[in-house]
């Protein structure tokens, strides 16, 4: 009789170990406008759609493979690890397809294979520009013009007082804070004050580099929510 109990327990344990449970996940991509995306669990063929911030729920277990489908910008081939299941939210970083293309190595390119030779190139270059110093003169004049600008054209750095919000972050749409960064509405103003002495984000926003300031704010929002004891998204 005890062997029967042992067998039942063993079968139950194996069955439980193979069960898939639903987990919350997020695709960490800076170009928010690319969402929603379709994610497939290759192991089960389950397909889910992310929300506009990259969040999605899917049933998984260790060694399941996740991939992106029907998109031309990012690729994903991620195998679920055991320690992933310990996280409240599993964050995955897809790889831009442009970066994959940059890894391709082309060997043995010669002028002959491209259909021209150095003598032909030199002949055309000197015909178009007989004065070899002309380009250097233009570059020198441009540099001189830049250096002779009035000092008043340069933006003067002014340190913010501790009682001020970060005006650049506060100037962003509130939906970025509550939708993309998942900051509770009642803590948005506090987040502005939290970034009071952060001048790196100022430069990202002023330069118009949206990809950089979005990823930078995402990292800062994690730190802020941990400080406020708010569960991570």
pLDDT in tens, 70-128: 878 888 989 999 999 998 899 999 988 764 444 556 666 666 666 666 666 665 554 55
**What pLDDT score was predicted for residue 15?**
44
CATH 3.30.1380 assigned to 16-101: no
The C-alpha atoms of residue 90 and residue 86 are separated, in whole angstroms, by 9
The pTM is what?
Answer: 0.42
The domain segmentation of the chain, as residue ranges, is 16-101, 118-149, 167-227
The C-alpha atoms of residue 166 and residue 168 are separated, in whole angstroms, by 6
The C-alpha atoms of residue 72 and residue 162 are separated, in whole angstroms, by 45
In this structure, how many other beta carbons lie within 10 angstroms of the beta carbon of residue 58?
Answer: 21
Tell me the percentage of the chain whose pLDDT exceeds 70. Answer: 65
pLDDT for residue 156 is more than 60: no
């Amino acid at each position: 009789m005890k062997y029967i109990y042992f067998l039942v327990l063993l079968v139950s344990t194996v069955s439980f170990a193979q069960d898939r449970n639903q987990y919350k996940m997020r695709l960490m991509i800076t170009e928010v406008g690319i969402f929603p995306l379709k994610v497939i669990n290759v192991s089960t063929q389950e397909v889910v759609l992310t929300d506009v911030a990259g969040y999605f729920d899917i049933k998984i277990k260790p060694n399941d493979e996740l991939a992106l489908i029907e998109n031309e910008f990012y690729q994903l081939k991620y195998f679920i690890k055991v320690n992933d299941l310990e996280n409240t939210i599993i964050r995955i970083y897809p790889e831009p397809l442009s970066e994959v293309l940059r890894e391709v190595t082309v060997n043995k390119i010669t002028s002959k294979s491209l259909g021209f030779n150095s003598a032909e190139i030199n002949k055309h270059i000197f015909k178009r520009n007989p004065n070899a110093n002309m380009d250097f003169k233009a570059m020198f004049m441009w540099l001189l013009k830049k250096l002779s600008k009035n000092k008043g054209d340069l933006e003067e750095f002014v340190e913010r007082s501790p009682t001020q919000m970060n005006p650049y972050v506060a100037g962003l749409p509130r939906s970025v804070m509550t939708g993309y960064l998942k900051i509770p509405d009642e803590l948005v103003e506090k987040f502005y004050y939290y970034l009071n002495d952060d001048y790196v984000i100022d430069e990202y926003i002023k330069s118009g580099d949206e990809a950089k300031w979005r990823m930078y704010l995402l990292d800062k929002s994690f730190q802020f929510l941990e400080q406020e004891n708010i569960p991570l998204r």
